[in-house]
Structure 1
Amino acid sequence: MDHAQFITAAKFDALRNAIYHVARRQYYDGLNRLLNFLVIILGAGVAGKAASLIEVRDLWLEIGVLVAATAQLAFDFGYRARTHEILQKKYYEMIAEMEVDDASDLKKWNAKLYTIASDEPMPMRALDALAYNAALDATMSDPVLKAEHRIYVPFIHRLFKHLIAFNGHEYVLESERSSLWRRRAKEN
């Protein structure tokens, strides 16, 4: 890989990681807000009065408050969101440094990628593949090249991208997947 390709690859990886952490931050912020909302609404005296109007037992409200408050305290989604916000910022700062710097020191940028990655929690691989596709969309305008380099992410993986890591799954390029399907169809 020549110098220009490495810098382009390092910028792409930093952008992909930044996009990944934006998605994780938004997910955890959303969960945090939802649980805060549920704790307040379900814990309010108004909820008890509303429950009697729609014939919901008070016990269900109490269980709802207990589950939401326990999840909020045990999983601390706000903290997790801030972790991803910090990582996102580090990757964007790296991209900005690469734009300003003459980018002559390849080892420097490689080391910087590894340093930031050392602070990352376990990646959600389906989300990472989707972030790769988003970075590809952001950096490439040629639709043919995009189609050749996009990663296929199954629907079920898209659905559970924030909940399951899918560590055992091998993500392949969409172009490889379609050629594999054509070969299988010819064999049958």
Structure 2
Amino acid sequence: MDGIDTEAADTAAPAGTAAATPGAPATGTDGSGAAQPAAGGTPAPLTVQDVRFDLLRNAHYHGDRLGFFERSHRLVMFITVLAGTAAVGSAFAESGVPTLIIGLVVAFFSTLDLVCDLSGAARLHEKIRQRCFDLMAELEECAAGDTAACQRISASLVKIYGEEPHTMAAVEALAWNSALAAVTNPGELDHDDLQTVTTWQWLTRHIWRYAGHTFTTPRERAEIARRKRL
């Protein structure tokens, strides 16, 4: 179970590729991660920068999910073990709390961990993140203009997408921002190129999928508003 949603394979397309210059889509892309036709109708070749961005974005995404499931599993185990001890049971009994309530608490959290498989979800995200770093290591060995290697590594990443559980859009947006910051030269990052995530969306990013919400940057929203005024 991924957050509230079942851990079924229903992955979203890549959130986008990075640009050498913040605010502009990466070479050969429209910001969706797909190569766009060049002047002659042939898709522009992927660059090392494009693939590096996608790998970083995916690694950040699964790192965030991994941390969430690990923390959740430990918290549930702590509550279950603590509530099941004789000392805690005696303390609650002396304070007037029925023993049945304590039993229900233990049963609830034990069932929650079993049904949601929090530790299993953590292992899945850890495995996918490690595969992203393995591909990144291969990418670093490629020459700057080795388009064939970029295509091969990108194809391997697409296979990983097919193994991923439901995409949590707010986590994806934050991962996009982290990846963009990582590939942008120091001092050149423009915050108008970062996708906006509200405080509430940040707090609930591992619970609600925000599947119908499109996360945009301030620059994109300004451009949409400009076009509407025309």
- In 1, are the aligned partners of 2:170 and 2:210 still within 8 Å (CA)? yes
Cα drift, residue 52 of structure 1: 3.0
Counterpart-to-counterpart distance in 1, 2:85 and 2:110:
13
User: Residue 140 of structure 1 corresponds to which residue in structure 2?
Assistant: 184
User: Residue 4 of structure 2 corresponds to which residue in structure 1?
Assistant: none
Kindly indicate whether residue 131 of structure 2 is the aligned counterpart of residue 87 of structure 1: no
Counterpart-to-counterpart distance in 2, 1:96 and 1:118:
21
Match for 1:111 among 128, 147, 155? Answer: 155
- In 2, are the aligned partners of 1:150 and 1:173 still within 8 Å (CA)? yes
Q: Aligned letter for 1:104? A: T
Match for 1:122 among 166, 169, 173? Answer: 166
1:171-182 equivalent positions in 2, closer than 5 A = 171-177=215-221
Match for 2:92 among 43, 51, 58? Answer: 51
Counterpart-to-counterpart distance in 2, 1:146 and 1:172:
14
TM-score, with structure 1 as normaliser = 0.87
Secondary structure of 2:47's match?
helix
User: Residue 166 of structure 1 corresponds to which residue in structure 2?
Assistant: 210
Q: Aligned letter for 2:166? A: M
- In 2, are the aligned partners of 1:130 and 1:153 still within 8 Å (CA)? yes
Secondary structure of 2:190's match?
helix
Counterpart-to-counterpart distance in 2, 1:22 and 1:164:
18
The Cα RMSD (Å) is 2.3
User: Residue 21 of structure 1 corresponds to which residue in structure 2?
Assistant: 62
Cα drift, residue 175 of structure 1: 2.4
* Bigger RCO (CA 8 Å, 6+ sep): 2
Moved more, 114-123 or 174-183: 174-183
Question: What are the Cα deviations for residues 80-104 of structure 1, in whole angstroms up to 9, with x where unaligned?
Answer: 0000000000111111100012343
Q: Which has the higher helix share?
A: 1
Kindly indicate whether residue 71 of structure 2 is the aligned counterpart of residue 30 of structure 1: yes
- Report the CA distance shift for 1:126/1:89 in structure 2 as closer, same or farther (over 3 A): same
- In 1, are the aligned partners of 2:181 and 2:189 still within 8 Å (CA)? no
* Paired residue total: 184
- Report the CA distance shift for 1:13/1:57 in structure 2 as closer, same or farther (over 3 A): same
